[in-house]
Chain A
Amino acid sequence: MSDFEPVVVVFACDYCAYTAADVAGRMNLSYPSGVRILRVPCTGKVEPLYIMQALQKGADGVLVAGCLVGDCHFKNGNLRAAARVKRVQTLLDDIGIDGQRVAMVNVSAGQGAKFAEIATEFSNKIGEMGPNPIKQGAKAAA
């Protein structure tokens, strides 16, 4: 699987993770280009369905990135997001897709380096897990 470049969708909260991603850019750090960010007002807005749809459309992994625990701009949206990620992980396991393809992470606005590090590590981890298994099925069916 050496030529496999995973596509990771990141749902990033406007207040922390999205800003951290901007800071990573300004600090000229790098992470794999397969990491693609969608902005949300708060991870509390990230619905389980969004995660499912991202995987269904072919993402190899999904990250939900919110503020540090205790620092959510909207009190506890990040905690809700974490609980939803757990539920989606179980559902994915149940349908034969490794739930570890989805993860919740927390970064503060200033943590550009941490964002780059998380994005890289997660992308590598997905790289090791291989492509989203629905891809092969989709090809076979086509």
Chain B
Amino acid sequence: MKSDSNLEKVLAAGHFAVTGELGPPRGANLQAIKDKAAHLKGMVDAVNVTDNQTAVVRMASWAVSLVLREMGMEPNYQMVCRDRNRLAMQSDILGAAALGINTMLCLSGDHPSFGDHPQAANVHDIDSIQQLQMVTTMRDQGRFMGGAEIDTPPRMFVGAAANPFGDPFELRVLRLGKKVAAGADFIQTQCIYNMERFAEYMRQAVDMGLTEKTKLLAGVTPLKSAGMARYMAKKVPGMDVPDEVVKRIADQPKEKQAEEGIKLLCEQIEQLREMPGVAGIHLMAIEWEHRVPEIVERAGLLPRPQV
């Protein structure tokens, strides 16, 4: 084992992993975190804690990760390249590791122009692939990026994100390969709605042997309404929502759209479980944490393995 990560253990044991997601509050409200987290406890193997998601200021992801740790949950500490240079990143990783955070995710981060501080400087000292390399070098070689030795290296189970639907499509698997080469232990993907295209992506990934070197968790998000479906389809860059998916939700009366969304999600999870190379799912129930138990239950993913 590279780390003490629960996620690592679940995956190593060959279970179909489930990870969830929690967005930190826009304030110093500890209780809000605990309330949200309570819905996820026992339902997922690890909880991603986002880092100033969509470039909007929120509580530090390492702090919220610690709260989850205290609650007996496994945080997946997200870190974006947008806000920190290599010094800050490495010091934060050391601190996180020292305080019991075992799992982390390396990301580029959304551009500040989307967020609440579009005036902010955009650091991007290194990119997410270089960040992955940095973490694995710290862990495996016990060295900082600058070359100096680390007294007690951080034992991090380190992952990266992948978007199977960004353009150009032909680069998507190649870039996944670069992330794997950089040392990604696991991969969490962007939300998947176009199952056909994702299956093609997986086929290529499996063919290249990538899924033997990393564990790939397919990202899923329940569609709460037709409005959300349309928004995801049209407004979110790099998102592929087929027309028939939008139509399926939109064809339902308003009050039944959420239910249809969950039904669709369960069907998708079913399909993903059958798909070669898929090691689990990453369930992003944005502002719908309270429905996670129901979803996980209905998808037949309970109980979560104890390893």
A–B touch (CB < 8 A): the answer is: no
